[in-house]
Every structure is written in C-alpha cells, then in structure tokens.
Amino acid sequence: MTVRADGRPHVTPLVAVWAGGVLYFHTSTEEQKFANLRANPGVVLTTGCNRWDEGTDVVVEGSAVRVTDQKVLTRVAAAFAGKWDGRWDLAVRDGRFYNRNASDWPSEVFAVTPARVFAHAKADPRGATTHRFDRAGG
C-alpha cells in the first residue's frame, strides 16, 4: 500500500522478493504506485494465503528507497528469477529492470528495509506477533 497525494490509500498486488534481509519490488514509472512513492516513501506490504485455517499472514511496514546500483540490481534480478521459476526474466540496464517477457518494459526497483513486521499464524498453535526493528537494522 502507498498513499496518494490527496491522502487516499492506494493498494495493488505486486511481486516481490526477499534478498539479504530487504524486501524488493519494482514498478513502472507510469504506475500510480511510482507517483505515490515520489511524494511519500512509506509503504505497507502484505502477503498471506486465502485459507482461514492454515498458513501465516505477514505485514511489513517500512520506507521504499529506489535502487539503481548495478550489482544490487543484478543480485535482485536473480532472486526474482529463482523465486518465480524464471517467469520474471529481468535484464539490468541503466539503473533499472527491463522485463524481457514483456517487450523489455522498464521498471524502477525499490528496496524496503522493514521497520515493523506483523505475523499472524492461522493454524494451531494460532498466534500473532510484532517485531520492531531498530534503526541499525537489527
């Protein structure tokens, strides 16, 4: 979730990966999400499953920071390819991703270092927990 300039929330599904303790996602400069992030880097990312009685729902709060470093982008592109069975074939050029499966469509990459994470277990033993990270990232 991001926040529009007028304060309304904006939620859309996206594909993300964890790499080195950081959550990465990418978006086109033509997306509403990108416009929102230029004005306010605060984000909430959620994941879970649609089962009531199994799995774990996770909510990550943090700030999204644009990534342009070639080495980091190359590592993150490999993480996307590995996690998503090669369905995200991302080339790295000019400080961004280019999706080879979508006519080389460009996208900007963002890193979210978690500030707070909530987790809710939906199976026995059910439970919920919150973890706040210190500014040093620990």
Domains of the chain, by residue range, sit at: 2-47+60-114
pLDDT band for 135, please (50, 70, 90 cuts).
low
Q: How many CA atoms lie within 13 A of 51 on its CB side?
A: 8
Residue 63 is predicted with a pLDDT of: 95
Contact 68, 96 (CB under 8 A): yes
Between 2.70.70.10, 3.90.1280.10, 3.90.650.10, 2.30.110.10, what CATH number should domain 2-47+60-114 receive? 2.30.110.10
Distance CA 50, CA 111 (A): 26
pLDDT band for 132, please (50, 70, 90 cuts).
confident
Region 65-82 average pLDDT? 96
